Structure 1
């Protein structure tokens, strides 16, 4: 097939793939997928998206397929990798495509080139950057713009490499091109300013090129210098940023007055100038030291003085606040507690600049401006409150501080207050004093002012600990303000209840907790504003989450709290709101425990309905499952009404075939375990639920511990039935995982196996044979768990013999040789076992081996006696009556009678030599394990002491 025919076929297939009809689209996508590995396919794609006469959607699709192919097949070691000859042709075609008329396709092409460059530059593609720099100098405006766009993406990709060699190459590139790009940027900015004065139609294109050059300079300045302050060009550029920002702010003001559509692009340019400063501060704090003073002067002038307010806009304010906070919190600018002991000169210099700038007057003005201006609720805020109170109540939280002006204001206020607490505390206390009295419900400006001050006091609660008598304030003014029910006063009610929550864990006497509960509950009632109710619910949660929380104090308020929160949960509409309220309810259930039982019925009835309604909201379902975990634990039993709901929830949450398991798995496993722990018997549905477990054991190790707890709970609940059905699968999974586990995982696995033996010995003895083989681990805890497989010997000597035979077959040795090695390890490592119950188990197993007719045992007879005696000495103690008892034996009578023990000892002492030992063996081993373990070991100890003297006589 010739190239023309192949290109026609690909073009036709791309046209079908761009069709919106799924019946046409799907086969075309499959065909393109099939061609991805065919030689020449990407050359055809290059020809298609380079042909400007072809439909835009088809060209767009072609460049996307090419870009995806670079990710999969460009690397030399990739399966079905492109040939080097084809790569050369493709690179030549890509680097000559500077006249793309469609912006979106041009952007995708620039990204595509940067992806290829990441693999090939500079070795296989050394001409890329020189070619782009040459194109940037072109007189053709389109070529110039496209070349700058490509250069931007190339520099962005190169700057993201972090290997030492790559960083060194990028630094060399920066030293070669930085001056050129800086001059280019200056040229474009000057052209834009001239065109703006002349109202030239080309100023938009010029500003776009200036912005692209600025983006390139940012990457070069941040990642292209080890120490930017040592480069004259970098220092010159950073100092120019302030002047350019001031100029562009005036340009934005002028363009806005003209109604120009370039205002948004100008704002992007200004924001990117501030991003340059913030990025250099973050990556090169010591290079930024001499820029601290101009940065603070720049930011404070525009944000905190009347002169600067006329040209600023919200995103610029946020960036300025980010810059100030970055300087305040920079760890490299923090001196030692004793400033003179600071060794780093850059730290001392930065500290001196900060302290000289942040004078008392400056700090006071900034604090007042933040509180009385930026903290005030705006008209838009109040409109949002009226139209969507749930969104308003949740918008102030989260991680939006870098992008939300209000959150940014609060963060800067906290940073300032924490750094200069001595200076700012009197300022804030004065504000509290001036706004202390009750205000008129009709005076909205006074209400908003008080709201702002209370907001500041709540944020600075920890720093004001010694300055504010909160108990008195709470008991007098704050409780009175909560009683004013005017609509405008909802602002104060919400802020006051929030303020109480902030101070609860800081400075509120335990004696006032009942008053706090009593004050908060009326704000949860249905006739209250929704935003106030949500804030009150969070305050209640903070009060309960406190270290000094007293359950007895809260019990009188438990029923109304739970009832009001449940009503709030039903009346909330937003998913985030329901999650928040459900979290508070769940937290109350967790803290009060069994006391919640009388009031849980309504929640139990509502949760299934909420579960059905939240089918599209996985995070809400996470909250529901978490609540169910606490509810089951608090109830102490799985009720008949809750049981049929719980098992389908667990089934869905732990099924790896369901997409939602990514969100629900962890909480679903916790719920599964809680249900098992609180079930009195094993039901058929609960047993069938275990079908979800095999994939989970293979899925990952993140939840393996919880999975093992679930298996153990199933074993304890119904040992023989459960092990008969799932035992083989469990042992097989455990056996396959052991080879990849560290010591902690091996111990956990062996404990599970031991649980099988202890709970269902009749079934488990046969099941555990594949995993009962010692694997040579030397770690004491692992050794202890492997040696505990001696329980198999006590359960069934036949199975133990089969294990020995299997090992012998696997390694090609005799059974006698294998037994010798096992006994050597056993006798040598038994001393490493520190748990008394395991030492006793090993001692009993050794004693049982004494009856075996084996030379391996007889040859190690003294070792047997020594280990048994040491185990016996560890577990025997004398009770108050002077009787020797087994400290681990739990029976109706703590030990056999003293006379019985003495009679056995006397009988054994009258018999000599080998016959005495045989008689003692019979006495020890013929007694059932459950009726006298301690008694048998005590007799053995007596006989050992005698036998050491007389056994050979």
Structure 2
């Protein structure tokens, strides 16, 4: 019986590596059977550290008798192994040195460089480059010499080997140029002149040979291969010139090639592109276009990355100006295009030429407009080069007439609404509108790049270009002018330059007298202007707009969103909907002005969202709705129900589109926050969505979980008391607190929401089935010492103690305290405090704080929690932490630490007072452990009273509020804010007068100690007279006149 090898998973030791077994496993891992893929992949991972694994993988690739998919998988495994193992030298997975040498020795052999399959050759070149990054120059010093020798030797005789060698050289240069280690870049720069000499010469020879053949009327079919390999050469040279030379403008070789490259670009390739009837095959024409792309990338990249070098290199600025003129000439062809691209996903070569020309011009001008300050030390020669470059740009490009011509051409050529825009507007409106919003489109698209160049010119040459611009604008910007293309371009210009034109253009008059008229015109094609009106208003609204103009703005957007108007097609309405968010985000936008238009705009936006299928656009419009809701506040109430009902179907339809669900949660949170107490009818629906969102535990759901918690918090904040009015899902959500806290222990929301539950419905949290799992979760994070987590968990435990006292008295507190012990909360807390005490009392001069100890604010949090327990019930506190406290008190170390912490002074007065109250209340026990601490108590009282009692308001501490000081807020408050305010008023920190509290407990203490004589003789006598005198004086002074 035959058993398929790959179907059996065995440890690597049981299946030793051999050529046959490797072939078998690679076949299995490249099959379509899932089981075989899994077992094969596992076996390959186990072999990765085996000797000879990488040489065998290399042999598999070199064996062209094996199936292509097997060889391809061998390359993938090889590539992954380099990333994991080749840089390591000591670990068990490090590649054996002998194996590395075997692999390296075969990388540039003839059979390695003659792979006919392009995709396999490309993957192999990547592998060689990765190895070169690790081994060059220390372990592979002759890499470039060997590779250049092969390139020279095969340039004429072996085109395939020549092409594959160039491909490897290209990948190596790309790999070394991106290396983080300076060593790699330095090694590349050392060889750059020799590489340029060899590859540059071969490139020129290949191109000239082809061009000579073409000029002689020969057939270009045989020369295509030369153009193809020449394309690899120019790609290599492009990266070499940028990354291989620190100062390329100072290298004679670079200067010579730069001049040649300009000549090839302008005199060899461009004439062919400009004359479509040139006798070229489609394949050759495509290669010519690719050469032009590479050369234009070279010029544009040099100008952007090394602008000083670019300007100083021979003939660069005249070349740029000629290129700009060429772009202006080509613009007519670009404007009239009816197809998005010429069958090329990167766009037509004409588009590429124009785009790179604009980018290069912009890079040169930005040297003047926005000089870059380098942290690198500049030699005198560097400073001189920079000064010369700036002077050259000023003399060649900062010429008034040229700048004005540039602005004019930008508006009349590159800002224009094109024929292809019209076609896409009609056929794919949603996609066209969305593409217009791409923020970084200037890197890939002509119009956005032209807009960036225009803005640079207007900002930095305003004295020269603004007046001519406004002159043309006033001529064109009239309702009677029907030149839609130019009008759209000019409106675009004044929108882009809004912050520059604020003192030059009266936009409010333009809005009233022109835009208001044009937005109502029904002329065919005027929808382009309608769209532009929405854009230009959104650009001016944040900059400058009179208060009287805002109602008109709202009226215009209400009109643009009207689907019954035929000119308000989908693009117009989508643009208006998207841009309205920017309008509503302005400080000057007054809610009262917007209210009359709000209902209609909300309705039309909701309808628009239902029309479209694009998720990105739907999200943008939902964001607009969110902006409107936040702006309306309580004025949203009449429309809230319709808005929530509109959102409900989207949640179910969203499925796994978590971005949509996240935006829905954000919008619902805004609705709840806007209408506050009027949102009760929607609480059940909102909490149902919260439960659904939080029930998903898939990876990558952090965003939706966070937004779900924010909505949950907002709903609980607005829920009215008593709790029996709350929806059932409110109680279901309480049960998942442990899960949510485990998932996000460092997030404030789950802890804070649990606290709000304890105020709204303490019974819900204090049920056994909720309370105990919740405290178990808290206990599991007690050792997480991040302060935010420490604060959150202590606040929650304190709130549970207070809630237990409030609804269950001492038995309730006892139940909470027992759970705090059984769930490890209090044991870990006490262990941390004991560690702090031990550290402070350690005699060694080399003492270090134990990891489990606490200090500073965290220690205050822990002691404040204990203080809350004491204030709830001193008896429960002692029974829990020291059950035998009357016979043998074992917490003297805790009192030492506690008194010392308070005496040192606490950052927050509230904690200061709380601890003083708690330690004072321990006197109620009448136990020796606290009576023996009278001196510590008096020292603490003296210190705390001195900090908390104001000399101008004697008789009470500054944190004590009488009922007369309990004020209703001046502004409306939420139900949660009211509960929090009432809790604050009832808190012992504000409800108890510390001065009278101390006096009362001192009055009672003698009775608990067996009488005044016994108290004086046994306990008060132990207090030093100085301490007693100082305390008596402070207390008497704080009591004030009696």
TM-score normalised by the chain length of structure 1: 0.85
Please name the residue that 2:345 is paired with.
none
Q: 2:134 aligns with which of 109, 119, 127?
A: 119
Question: Structure 2: how far apart are the matches of 1:39 and 1:187?
Answer: 46
Q: 2:253 aligns with which of 228, 233, 256?
A: 233
- The alpha carbon displacement at 1:303 in A equals 1.9
Contact conserved, 2:903 with 2:939, CA < 8 A, in 1? no
Contact conserved, 2:903 with 2:940, CA < 8 A, in 1? no
Does residue 61 in structure 1 map to residue 105 in structure 2?
no
* Change in CA separation of 1:523 and 1:946 when aligned onto 2, cut-off 3 Å: closer
Q: 2:549 aligns with which of 474, 495, 512?
A: 512
Which string of whole-angstrom CA distances, capped at 9 and with x for unpartnered residues, describes residues 24-77 of structure 1? 656655555565555444444322321223333332233223222333343435
- The alpha carbon displacement at 1:126 in A equals 3.4
Which string of whole-angstrom CA distances, capped at 9 and with x for unpartnered residues, describes residues 448-471 of structure 1? 221111111111111111111111
Question: Structure 1: how far apart are the matches of 2:84 and 2:602?
Answer: 56
- The alpha carbon displacement at 1:276 in A equals 2.7
Question: Structure 1: how far apart are the matches of 2:497 and 2:1014?
Answer: 82
Gaps of at least 5 residues in structure 2 are 1-12, 335-347, 374-381, 806-812, 837-852, 966-989, 1017-1029
Does residue 161 in structure 1 map to residue 179 in structure 2?
yes
Q: 1:546 aligns with which of 572, 586, 591?
A: 586
* Change in CA separation of 1:457 and 1:827 when aligned onto 2, cut-off 3 Å: closer
Please name the residue that 2:388 is paired with.
349
Does residue 610 in structure 1 map to residue 631 in structure 2?
no
SS of 1:815's equivalent in the other structure is coil
Question: Structure 1: how far apart are the matches of 2:244 and 2:783?
Answer: 47
* Change in CA separation of 1:2 and 1:101 when aligned onto 2, cut-off 3 Å: farther
Question: Structure 2: how far apart are the matches of 1:468 and 1:720?
Answer: 65
Contact conserved, 2:410 with 2:454, CA < 8 A, in 1? yes
Question: Structure 2: how far apart are the matches of 1:326 and 1:286?
Answer: 10
* Change in CA separation of 1:619 and 1:259 when aligned onto 2, cut-off 3 Å: farther
Contact conserved, 1:334 with 1:351, CA < 8 A, in 2? no
Which string of whole-angstrom CA distances, capped at 9 and with x for unpartnered residues, describes residues 420-478 of structure 1? 111111121112122122247xx5xx112211111111111111111111111111111
Gaps of at least 5 residues in structure 1 are 337-342, 921-939, 949-953
Question: Structure 2: how far apart are the matches of 1:482 and 1:148?
Answer: 59
SS of 1:352's equivalent in the other structure is helix
Question: Structure 2: how far apart are the matches of 1:612 and 1:945?
Answer: 67
Question: Structure 2: how far apart are the matches of 1:556 and 1:643?
Answer: 27
- Greater CA drift, 541-550 or 775-784: 775-784
Question: Structure 2: how far apart are the matches of 1:896 and 1:815?
Answer: 32
* Change in CA separation of 1:692 and 1:60 when aligned onto 2, cut-off 3 Å: farther
Does residue 413 in structure 1 map to residue 454 in structure 2?
yes
* Change in CA separation of 1:745 and 1:625 when aligned onto 2, cut-off 3 Å: same
Q: 1:74 aligns with which of 79, 86, 89?
A: 86
Q: 1:793 aligns with which of 862, 870, 888?
A: 870
- The alpha carbon displacement at 1:397 in A equals 1.1
Please name the residue that 1:708 is paired with.
751
Please name the residue that 1:219 is paired with.
239
Q: Output aligned runs, 1:350-749, within 5 Å.
A: 350-356=389-395, 357-398=397-438, 399-439=440-480, 446-527=483-564, 528-636=568-676, 642-643=682-683, 645-655=685-695, 657-659=697-699, 661-680=701-720, 681=723, 685-689=729-733, 697=741, 704-719=747-762, 721-722=764-765, 724-725=768-769, 741-743=785-787, 746-749=790-793
Does residue 189 in structure 1 map to residue 204 in structure 2?
no
* Change in CA separation of 1:906 and 1:495 when aligned onto 2, cut-off 3 Å: closer
- The alpha carbon displacement at 1:546 in A equals 0.7
- Greater CA drift, 199-208 or 376-385: 199-208
* Change in CA separation of 1:365 and 1:901 when aligned onto 2, cut-off 3 Å: closer
Please name the residue that 1:271 is paired with.
293
* Change in CA separation of 1:102 and 1:537 when aligned onto 2, cut-off 3 Å: same
Contact conserved, 1:238 with 1:277, CA < 8 A, in 2? no
* Change in CA separation of 1:196 and 1:429 when aligned onto 2, cut-off 3 Å: same
Q: 1:174 aligns with which of 192, 198, 206?
A: 192
- Greater CA drift, 764-773 or 469-478: 764-773
- Greater CA drift, 603-612 or 582-591: 603-612
Question: Structure 2: how far apart are the matches of 1:326 and 1:712?
Answer: 57
Question: Structure 2: how far apart are the matches of 1:327 and 1:918?
Answer: 95
Please name the residue that 2:116 is paired with.
101
Contact conserved, 2:129 with 2:168, CA < 8 A, in 1? yes
- The alpha carbon displacement at 1:785 in A equals 2.6
Question: Structure 2: how far apart are the matches of 1:718 and 1:897?
Answer: 25
- The alpha carbon displacement at 1:406 in A equals 1.7
* Change in CA separation of 1:154 and 1:563 when aligned onto 2, cut-off 3 Å: same
The higher-RCO structure (CA 8 Å, 6+ apart) is 2
Please name the residue that 1:825 is paired with.
900
- The alpha carbon displacement at 1:696 in A equals 5.5
Q: 2:269 aligns with which of 224, 248, 255?
A: 248
Question: Structure 2: how far apart are the matches of 1:3 and 1:173?
Answer: 46
Q: 2:63 aligns with which of 19, 37, 51?
A: 51
- Greater CA drift, 261-270 or 526-535: 261-270
* Change in CA separation of 1:502 and 1:33 when aligned onto 2, cut-off 3 Å: same
RMSD, matched Cα: 4.2
* Change in CA separation of 1:395 and 1:739 when aligned onto 2, cut-off 3 Å: same
SS of 2:140's equivalent in the other structure is coil
* Change in CA separation of 1:35 and 1:439 when aligned onto 2, cut-off 3 Å: farther
* Change in CA separation of 1:693 and 1:331 when aligned onto 2, cut-off 3 Å: farther
* Change in CA separation of 1:182 and 1:897 when aligned onto 2, cut-off 3 Å: closer
Which string of whole-angstrom CA distances, capped at 9 and with x for unpartnered residues, describes residues 150-190 of structure 1? 11111211111122333333333335534333333333333
Please name the residue that 1:840 is paired with.
913
- Greater CA drift, 462-471 or 298-307: 298-307
* Change in CA separation of 1:780 and 1:659 when aligned onto 2, cut-off 3 Å: closer
Question: Structure 1: how far apart are the matches of 2:749 and 2:368?
Answer: 40
- Greater CA drift, 637-646 or 844-853: 637-646
Which string of whole-angstrom CA distances, capped at 9 and with x for unpartnered residues, describes residues 564-599 of structure 1? 211222222322221122111111111112221210
Question: Structure 2: how far apart are the matches of 1:189 and 1:85?
Answer: 43
SS of 2:221's equivalent in the other structure is coil
Q: 1:771 aligns with which of 829, 854, 857?
A: 829
Question: Structure 1: how far apart are the matches of 2:681 and 2:14?
Answer: 73
Please name the residue that 2:841 is paired with.
none
Q: 1:210 aligns with which of 211, 230, 241?
A: 230
* Change in CA separation of 1:604 and 1:116 when aligned onto 2, cut-off 3 Å: same
Question: Structure 2: how far apart are the matches of 1:177 and 1:608?
Answer: 65
Question: Structure 2: how far apart are the matches of 1:729 and 1:86?
Answer: 56
- The alpha carbon displacement at 1:828 in A equals 3.7
- Greater CA drift, 467-476 or 206-215: 206-215
Question: Structure 1: how far apart are the matches of 2:734 and 2:210?
Answer: 70
Which string of whole-angstrom CA distances, capped at 9 and with x for unpartnered residues, describes residues 634-693 of structure 1? 242596764454345334544563255155233233223223323344665344446665
